[in-house]
Structure 1
């Protein structure tokens, strides 16, 4: 039996989870949960990285003796180190406005077609390449580390870049599976800034003496690279029985897509804005980022509404398709008064805004289900991969109304769960690196199926109603 600590950092909260893995055993226990979110300092939105580091150490202290530690987090954001290994300022949040209009300037230097041919990455204004262009490299900067790599460096003193998160930067050659020296040269980025790449399952190193003393863990405890992009870890834990599946990693963001053996770099994929991100065991996560529960979370924050189950019950009784929005519209990206933005979006599209909290939630969830439907159908067509079942994993798998609407919209059975998919994927990769007999993703997923209860949602309603609703929001495709 292996006992490991999974540090799992989401865009709104972090947690340290204790995983136990053995023959027919996959247990997960939450040890320490802590806040994570944007911190506004003057005109810049930051992450509080020192709070995250301190909270991680608190969780590791509470976990007690473990065989290893692994870290996953959201993508694209980074810290810069100087030549002495000191952090040059708090990492900036991807929702910060500094990248506004930067993408267009970069595309004057390297075209969208060239970028996609090399990286296979979805064009998003907050991709690392655009953040770097917005920031301008500081003269003192010697090393760029993605968030999990930065925290791993502080635990071990070892520098490197895990591939799944590196693949989200738009500086990574998705076919060669290396940093792209061509792109770095074109945008004036020194290659020395990009650290050596690691595979999920590689050992970063063991705990620094000061870390071991503070946490009470043995100094020989290894820190293991996992699928450090949290979606890469989540997809490891998709409890699929064969290859004919799609997934939605549902949380603050919704990552909607397929798992493939090779990237799809066609013009059709680029024009549809699909991304080819690295996965564990060399797989490709062919997906599109869709706005997730962020809109709902911001509505709750503005309303001061903590009783989500009651809100969802009321939303389930609200009239269907009364009001619809495009959840990926740029006005929904930044923090702010989301109910007011929904009202303004509706008026601009010629609709009467929702008149209650329940109607607003119904609008948000139906609109998300429509975005999932559109994305999933495009993915199947572009990748020529038919799908029999849709797995919804992550925190959104607990939202029964959203899961049912997703099944209805996509016309597919939805299997919901596990909730803590990213932590489970983190734990499974660590356990394999420690010698547990989990030779491939199939074995890992079989263990998830055997140990975690899933909920099934069958499609209901009329497909023609969803066809009409999709046409209202996205036009005829």
Structure 2
């Protein structure tokens, strides 16, 4: 039996998912799971990449323990965050996370050099204050020596690939989240890099998913008990998740639902118009040089935060059930930056309702109901804007993939409010998309559409009617 392993790491945890093919179906098995979160260090919110890497090794060692050694390994994570390496290939400084406040005001610093509309025209990437471009401006303003001493910039999954193989390759889909890739050429925009005064040498040549990085180093082989290839996948987690949308239809609308909700469609040419910019759409790189034309919506981060604050003894299914029975009509704007990293999500939601003259939610049921209903409204608004930009009314199903596909009440609300059939699943879409890229690279699956056809036959897909 031939195995592949997807290492899928998110902002709240990671998992090793083994995959193999049997009777024309994709079979998956979770072999290891670990927690992850930002930690406060010297006044900054940082990632403990050494701890994450130790879990990567433990998960791989677990594959050896159960006798299911993978042929190849793929790693995906969130986007925008990065690591700088010096001439000796050592990390420079702490690995600051995207929720840190260091980017405050950095958008104006960037726009004083490159106007916002010109930046969008060149990159097609929506303004989000945590994008790599603003993080790099913050480094330049507060720690210029770090940039001067840097030899290479690696996005988070690229760094872990390097730690496994001793080789570093820059991957296209994650690179687009930097807001430094030209959407016409599909390569680093050297004019932007020059204008911002960033060192060109730190930006490596881009490679597409399916490219071989290398084999495990001898040291890693000794620690995990086997050798395997490391292969680039859609290393931005949403790129992998979108690969697992179970449809053969071009232009289907999807929601990659997790900590963030990414709602959009696939297109072959970026929409970098000013109208698109004003609607805050982004054109992130996807598999096979497609564009993920989507909107970032705050997502289940809000529910995750509220659960941690006031309902840690409940699982999300129970919270969903309670929310469905709550009688409250208050709504908040899930995309408001106030919900990005508040001291208390629960209190921030209450304040927002109070300020807008709506009923203030009390308890987990009402608070969750406000969040779920608000998310559904955000989804509907995004759908109408997609229709406007694409110039046609969307009449197909809406596909919800990722962990949020299990949020039954939210799926029911979306179907009811949109008038569309909602297809929810697969749950582990990101890991499955990661595996698909490995299988395609290995020649075990013919291509993207063949892979999506297999998903429909391999995983549970739930249907919600309007």
- Partner residue of 2:413? 405
Deviation at 1:110, TM superposition (A): 0.2
Deviation at 1:365, TM superposition (A): 0.3
How is 1:94-243 mapped onto 2 (pairs within 5 angstroms)?
94-136=98-140, 137=144, 138=146, 139-218=148-227, 221-243=228-250
Deviations 1:205-230 (A, max 9, x none): 11111011111112xx2100000000
- Partner residue of 2:70? 66
Deviations 1:100-135 (A, max 9, x none): 111122111101111111110010000000000011
- Partner residue of 2:310? 303
Matched position secondary structure for 2:91: coil
1:275 equivalent in alignment to 2:279: no
Q: What is the aligned residue count?
A: 455
Matched position secondary structure for 1:33: strand
Counterpart CA distance in 1 for 2:220 and 2:363 is 50
Deviation at 1:383, TM superposition (A): 2.3
1:371 equivalent in alignment to 2:378: yes
Counterpart CA distance in 1 for 2:326 and 2:255 is 25
- Partner residue of 1:319? 327
Quick check: 2:251–2:266 contact (8 Å CA) kept in 1?
no
Deviation at 1:266, TM superposition (A): 1.4
- Partner residue of 1:20? 20
Deviation at 1:89, TM superposition (A): 2.5
Structure 1: where are the runs of 5+ without partners? 460-477
Counterpart CA distance in 2 for 1:193 and 1:228 is 19
Deviation at 1:279, TM superposition (A): 0.4
Quick check: 2:172–2:285 contact (8 Å CA) kept in 1?
yes
- Partner residue of 1:473? none
- Partner residue of 1:462? none
Moved more, 334-343 or 275-284: 334-343
1:350 equivalent in alignment to 2:357: yes
Which of 86, 89, 95 lines up with 1:91 in the alignment? 95
Counterpart CA distance in 1 for 2:180 and 2:455 is 33
Deviation at 1:84, TM superposition (A): 0.8
Deviation at 1:157, TM superposition (A): 1.1
Q: 1:387 to 1:175 in 2, by over 3 A?
A: farther
Counterpart CA distance in 1 for 2:442 and 2:364 is 49
Deviation at 1:335, TM superposition (A): 4.8
Counterpart CA distance in 2 for 1:169 and 1:96 is 16
- Partner residue of 2:399? 391
Quick check: 2:342–2:348 contact (8 Å CA) kept in 1?
no
Counterpart CA distance in 2 for 1:92 and 1:412 is 40
Deviation at 1:202, TM superposition (A): 0.3
Quick check: 1:347–1:353 contact (8 Å CA) kept in 2?
yes
Which of 417, 422, 425 lines up with 2:433 in the alignment? 425
Counterpart CA distance in 1 for 2:222 and 2:430 is 28
- Partner residue of 1:2? 2
- Partner residue of 2:291? 284
Which of 331, 334, 345 lines up with 2:341 in the alignment? 334
Matched position secondary structure for 1:419: coil
Matched position secondary structure for 2:150: coil
Moved more, 366-375 or 377-386: 377-386
Which of 448, 460, 463 lines up with 1:456 in the alignment? 463
Deviation at 1:23, TM superposition (A): 5.1
Deviation at 1:176, TM superposition (A): 0.2
Deviations 1:324-344 (A, max 9, x none): 100111111015211111111
- Partner residue of 1:264? 271
Moved more, 311-320 or 336-345: 311-320
Q: 1:199 to 1:19 in 2, by over 3 A?
A: same
Deviation at 1:25, TM superposition (A): 2.3
Alignment RMSD: 1.2
Which of 249, 259, 264 lines up with 1:252 in the alignment? 259
1:435 equivalent in alignment to 2:443: yes
Counterpart CA distance in 2 for 1:291 and 1:247 is 16
Quick check: 1:72–1:229 contact (8 Å CA) kept in 2?
yes
Counterpart CA distance in 1 for 2:386 and 2:463 is 22
Counterpart CA distance in 2 for 1:304 and 1:458 is 30
- Partner residue of 1:474? none
Deviation at 1:440, TM superposition (A): 2.5
Quick check: 1:127–1:170 contact (8 Å CA) kept in 2?
yes
- Partner residue of 2:86? 82
Counterpart CA distance in 1 for 2:22 and 2:200 is 42
Counterpart CA distance in 2 for 1:166 and 1:280 is 13
Matched position secondary structure for 1:167: helix
